[in-house]
Structures are given as C-alpha cells and as structure tokens.
A and B are shown apart, each in its own frame.
Chain A
Amino acid sequence: MREDDRACSLILLGIALAACLGAFQYEVGTFNNPGPGLFPLVLGAVLGVLSLMILAGGVMAKRAAVQGAQATGGRSIYSKEALYVVLALIGFGFLLVPLGFIVTTFAVFAAMLRFVTGQKWAVVVIGALVLALGAYVVFDMLLGVPLPRGVLGI
C-alpha cells in the first residue's frame, strides 16, 4: 500500500496549496485581529507539512521496497462493481426531479440488479418494481416524506 502514499500525499499537498492561495482571497488579518482568511491559511500550512511528511514516508518505503525487490504489479484502484454503484447513485441524483421518484427508482435499481448483482430479467423487473412502489408507500404515504413526482405526475 505504501506506494500509494506518494500519490495521495501529492493530492493532499495540492489541496493544501490551493487552500493557502484561497485564504489570501479573503482578509487574513493579523493575529490580534484575525480575519476570515487566517484560519484556512493556518490549516493549509499544517496540511502542507503533514502531506510532505507522508510523502517522505512513502519515498523511503519505496526505496526499501525496491531493495527488497517486491513486485506489486498493476492493479486497478477501483472495482467494476463499485463503479456501477457510483454510476447508479449519480444517475438517481440526476433523474430524481425530472422523472419523479417511482420511475427513477425503477430504472436505476433495475439497472443495478441486472448489472451489479447479475439477476435474471424477470427478477430484475419484479424486484425493481417492488422496490420502487414499496419505498414510495413507506416513505411518501406512511412517513410523509414528499417525494418528487416528475413530469409524468406519478
């Protein structure tokens, strides 16, 4: 895992620098009259130092690993399943208001059941339908959460 530390620490360092630069957009003030930019600036500086420490640790571990001749091989950061779940969630977010809760839930979870858990089409259709209608009854009708109805009005 250690080789990832370099990439992660560089991302953190980038965030830290961005925060410091961003902090100067607001009034930093002085220590006896702190402005809105002071606290973000201090945090950015601390994060910068910490990310450099993680980077140093990663570089040293990398050297040790090279000497130990450990092959890590190429591996993917994320799995296909996790990617599909994220896509399903994002799809839900975009479709919810325009299409309404029932249609969106049916569509998104039918896709999920089919492509993530690999169910048969019959199970997919019935499962997604039960989920969409069941959730609508529980949340909208029983718990009184007003869910979007979308263009179709359902």
Chain B
Amino acid sequence: METLNLVVYGFQVALAAHNVFACFVGVLLGTLVGVLPGLGPVATISILLPITLSMEPVTAIIMLAGIYYGAQYGGSITSILLNVPGEATTVVTCIEGHKMALAGRAGPALGISAIGSFIGGTLCLVGIMFLAAPLAKFALRFGPPEYSALIFLAITLITGLAVGSPVKGLAMAVLGMMAGTIGMDVATGEPRFTFGIHPLFDGLGLVPVIMGLFGIGEILTNVEQKGGTEVIKTKFSNVWPTMQDWVASRMAILRGTVVGFLLGLIPGGGALIATFASYSLEKKISRHPERFGHGAIEGLAGPETANNSGSQASFVPMLSLGLPSNVVTAILIGALIIHGVEPGPLMMTTNPDIFWGVLVSMYLGNVMLLILNLPLIAVWVQILRIPYKFLLPLIMLFCLVGVYSTNFSIFDVFVMIFFGIIGYLMNKFQYEPAPFIMGLVLCPIFENAFRQSLSLSDGSFWIFFSRPISAVLVIGGILILAGYMLPSFRRKVKVVQENACD
C-alpha cells in the first residue's frame, strides 16, 4: 500500500535527529510559555515564531506544531489549576477539570488530559492515513476557480465563529486582505498602497503583524487586568488516573477522538467546536448527567481528546490544500510562505516531507508530551505562581528582540507595535484578530487565483458556478453567509458563548 510507504517516510523525516530535537524543544517551550498566565496558544506561537525562521521548512513547522500542542497542554494546566482558560478551546476544560482540582484530584485531571490527547492523536493519525490518498487525488483537480471558491468558503466559515458578530468577523477578514494588498502587485510589479515607504514595497511582514496582533496586543490587554489568581495548593503525588477513572473516561476518549477528527477537518471548524460538541455529547449520553459540573472525569477526558484530535485534523486541510482552518494554521501557512514553500493543493505532492513529516511528528510530540509532563507537572505549577509583573518585561523584550532579529529592521519593530495597538483595540471593541490574519495570509493566493480565474473565463463570473467543485464551494459559502443573517443562528451562538462563560 502506497500510503503505508508514505507513513514510513513520514517517520523517517520525523525521526531525523534534528527534527526530534526541534519537536522536543517546541513541546517544552510551548508548554512553558503556555503555562504562563495570560498567554494562550496563539500568543505563545506568535511570540516564539522568530526562533524557527532560520530552520529548514519541515523542521520549522515541526517545531511550531510542537509549540502549538505544548501550549495547548499548558492551557489545560492553567484551566485545571487556575480556572483560567488560555483560549476558547480550553473553556470546557475548566468546567470539570477545575472542579476535580478543587476536590483534590488535580493530578488525575492533568493525567487524563495528557493520556486522552495521546490516544486521540494516535487514532487521528490512522484516520489521516486513510484520508490522504483520496484527498491528494481530489486536490489535483483544483484549478484557480476552485481555489478561489475554497478560500471564499473558508473565510465565511471562519467568520461565523468570531466572538461578537459574523459581520464584524467578515469585516476583519476583508480588512486583513486589504492589508495584504500592500506592496508589489504580483502580476504587474506595480507597488500599491506603499505611500512611498520603502520597506512596504515587499508588503507587510507577516511576522511583525502576527507578533503585534497576538503578542503585543495580548500584553496590552493583560496589563490592565489587576488582581492575581489563586493557584490551588495540592500535592501531585499521583497523576495516574485510577481504574475507576479509566473505565469512566475510556469511551469518552474514543468518542472525543471521532468528534474532534470529523469537526477538525472542516475549515473553520477545528478544535473549538469539537470541544463543545464532545462535552455536550458526553453529558447527553451519560447515565449520570447530574455528575457533570461537579468534576466528572469523562466530561474532561472527552473534550480534551477532541481538542487534540481536532487540532491535529485541522492540519490536514492546511497541509494538503494550503488552507488554514484557524488562526494557528494561518500562522503556520504564513511561516511556510516565509520559508518559500508555496501552500496550495499541490503541496502534498510536491512537499510530501512536510505533510507526512509534520503529521508523524505530531504523534511523536504527543508521546513526548506524555513523558515530559507527568513528571514535570510540579515544575509547571511553580511557574504558574510567577506574578505577571515580572513576566511582562521579559515577554516584551523577547518580542522586541525576536521581531528585530528576523530582518534586522527597525521598521518591522514599529509595524509590530502598530499592530499591537490595533490588536489591543480589537480586543477592546470585540473585533477578532483571527479573521484579519487569515485575510492577510490568504490575500496574495486569493487575489492570484481570482485574477487567473477571470482571465480564464474572459471576465465572466460564471466560471465559479460552471465547474462542479467550485460551484458547490461557492454556493456553500453563500448559504453560510445567508445563515448568519438568520436570527436563530445568532441566538444559538449566543447560547453557546453564554454557556461557555458560566
């Protein structure tokens, strides 16, 4: 079987010494920064982005992926011990996990998250193996019209998840695209919107914008939140779940894997919906739903597993179609572009090392996470106690040096500061920075595909509807846009968000 050979190839790539090392460093740094109060996975990956830029593309993406799930696990730790979710995907973790910690069972809560993530990640890889060959064949049928349609669909899906309103999310995506048009026009070489500022001829740097929006923006938002958080004082003598815990959560882990995998594959779906879906599923089919909200371990194990398998599955559309399905994969696409890898439907065929190497490394990374974290939890808990005022200067300096070191350009430092202020204002007025980044990253690809399509069709928009794949994608996007306008959708989103905030 050809796919099996590719998986073996993936293991060869991922097991190369420098890649194992990159993965290890990524997981370790990711967890370390992810545990720090106030820094979620997206901020973590943004701040650490510059250190990967001098590496080979595969190694860089392996390390960034490691940082990502390391930071996610760090987020689980803060959720369980502090009741502070680093980002939306760990909101559900707080519900049961923190209750378990209050009952003195923080150890097993952290243990089951790691074990569930590991099992979910393993099974997910098997699922991706079966999916890869048909997907690669499907991707080959993509021309410029299909690709424009796909990006259109992805943007509509992503903005629907924006906190606040889909209209605002869409406005941010369009604004991001407009920022993406700054610089030299790909087709004619004419500089656009550069205002005569020389460094802008190459366009806005993705690194300073990402670090600004998610790193500096996060710092500015955090600095005004006063008051410390209470870390639960508890012993971590035993992180292994008991037999009873295991019996209660094993089916939840399996269900979480499936839910996460399926929802993760949908662009714009990803880990966020998966965690909520898994939680409500567990609650619904439980024989003891009254235990939920009081530290039910299956209500923790399911969503934690779904989170991990969902984020792993979200790498599939990114690595096979070049399509980011959430902020993190958008940042990774940005990193690929910086490394000169053209993301797109051909990537799986032209860069199999990236596709298989990264996916297999995620599996290895989960093993590392498990081995690393069970003994290190006591250390992470100590780090949690560091007050924010000591961290603030360190993080700021790291961002400043990091962004400067990528190009040795003071202009980039100011771009980062500018977008930091923008990110802060976005947080303040409830505009999501995520669609902005997606728009910025996708803009050149989208514009190119869009212009090529119109050239192919002699200026007729009918080309997007006359080809079956693109027709399905465009109509899907239009239906989703129409769906946002329905009052029932708005109510549902509100209900989900309010439940999450309880």
Q: State the A residues within 8 Å of B (CB).
A: 1, 4-5, 8, 12, 15, 19, 22, 26-27, 30-40, 43-44, 46-47, 50-51, 53-54, 57, 77-79, 81-82, 85-86, 88-90, 92-93, 96-97, 105, 109, 112-113, 116-117, 127, 131, 135, 139, 145-147
Q: Across the interface, which residues of B come within 8 angstroms of A44, CB to CB?
A: 178
Given contacts A39-B450, A109-B397, whether A90 and B417 have CB atoms under 8 Å apart is yes
Measured CA separation A32–B462 after assembly (Å): 12
Is B394 at the interface (CB under 8 A from chain A)? yes
CB nearest neighbor in A for B220: A82
Measured CA separation A86–B165 after assembly (Å): 28
Whole-angstrom distance between the Cβ of A33 and the nearest chain B Cβ: 7
Whole-angstrom distance between the Cβ of A10 and the nearest chain B Cβ: 12
Asked if B175 contacts A97 (CB within 8 A), the reply is no
Given contacts A54-B168, A90-B417, A109-B393, whether A36 and B192 have CB atoms under 8 Å apart is yes
Extra A-B contacts (4), CB below 8 Å, given A32-B455, A54-B168: A85-B219, A85-B220, A89-B400, A147-B401
Measured CA separation A38–B448 after assembly (Å): 12
18 sample A-B contacts, Cβ–Cβ < 8 Å, listed by A number: A15-B175, A15-B178, A22-B192, A32-B460, A34-B451, A47-B174, A50-B170, A54-B171, A82-B221, A85-B219, A85-B220, A89-B420, A93-B417, A97-B410, A109-B393, A112-B392, A112-B393, A145-B404
Is B458 at the interface (CB under 8 A from chain A)? yes
Question: Which residues between 431 and 468 of chain B lie within 8 Å of chain A, taking CB atoms?
Answer: 431, 447, 450-451, 454-455, 457-461
Name which of B405, B420, B460, B461 has the most chain A CB atoms within 10 A of its CB: B405
Q: Across the interface, which residues of A come within 8 angstroms of B188, CB to CB?
A: 27, 35-36
Is B138 at the interface (CB under 8 A from chain A)? no
Asked if B193 contacts A8 (CB within 8 A), the reply is no
Asked if B175 contacts A96 (CB within 8 A), the reply is no
Q: Across the interface, which residues of B come within 8 angstroms of A82, CB to CB?
A: 220-221, 223-224, 424
Asked if B396 contacts A57 (CB within 8 A), the reply is no
Measured CA separation A32–B408 after assembly (Å): 42
Q: How many residues of B contact A (CB 8 A)?
A: 55
Measured CA separation A86–B420 after assembly (Å): 9
Chain A interface main SS type: helix
Is B198 at the interface (CB under 8 A from chain A)? no
Asked if B397 contacts A105 (CB within 8 A), the reply is yes
Q: Which of B223, B455, B460 is the one whose CB lies under 8 Å from A34?
A: B455
Whole-angstrom distance between the Cβ of B223 and the nearest chain A Cβ: 5
Given contacts A1-B429, A1-B430, whether A93 and B459 have CB atoms under 8 Å apart is no
Q: Across the interface, which residues of A come within 8 angstroms of B167, CB to CB?
A: 50, 53-54, 57
Q: Across the interface, which residues of A come within 8 angstroms of B389, CB to CB?
A: 116-117
Question: Which residues between 221 and 242 of chain B lie within 8 Å of chain A, taking CB atoms?
Answer: 221, 223-224
Asked if B459 contacts A32 (CB within 8 A), the reply is yes
Q: Across the interface, which residues of B come within 8 angstroms of A97, CB to CB?
A: 410
Chain B interface main SS type: helix
Question: Which residues between 396 and 416 of chain B lie within 8 Å of chain A, taking CB atoms?
Answer: 396-397, 400-401, 404-405, 408, 410, 413-414
Q: Across the interface, which residues of B come within 8 angstroms of A34, CB to CB?
A: 450-451, 454-455
Given contacts A19-B178, A135-B401, whether A81 and B428 have CB atoms under 8 Å apart is no
Measured CA separation A43–B178 after assembly (Å): 7
Q: Across the interface, which residues of A come within 8 angstroms of B421, CB to CB?
A: 86
Given contacts A15-B175, A86-B220, A139-B405, whether A36 and B410 have CB atoms under 8 Å apart is no
CB nearest neighbor in B for A92: B400
Asked if B171 contacts A51 (CB within 8 A), the reply is yes
CB nearest neighbor in B for A50: B171
Q: Across the interface, which residues of B come within 8 angstroms of A50, CB to CB?
A: 167, 170-171, 174
Asked if B216 contacts A89 (CB within 8 A), the reply is yes
Asked if A77 contacts B428 (CB within 8 A), the reply is yes
Asked if B394 contacts A131 (CB within 8 A), the reply is yes
Measured CA separation A38–B405 after assembly (Å): 36
Task: Please provide the 7 A-B residue pairs with the shortest distance between their CB atoms, ordered closest to farther.
Answer: A32-B459, A31-B459, A36-B185, A79-B224, A117-B389, A50-B171, A145-B405
Asked if A40 contacts B396 (CB within 8 A), the reply is no
Question: Which residues between 82 and 122 of chain B lie within 8 Å of chain A, taking CB atoms?
Answer: none
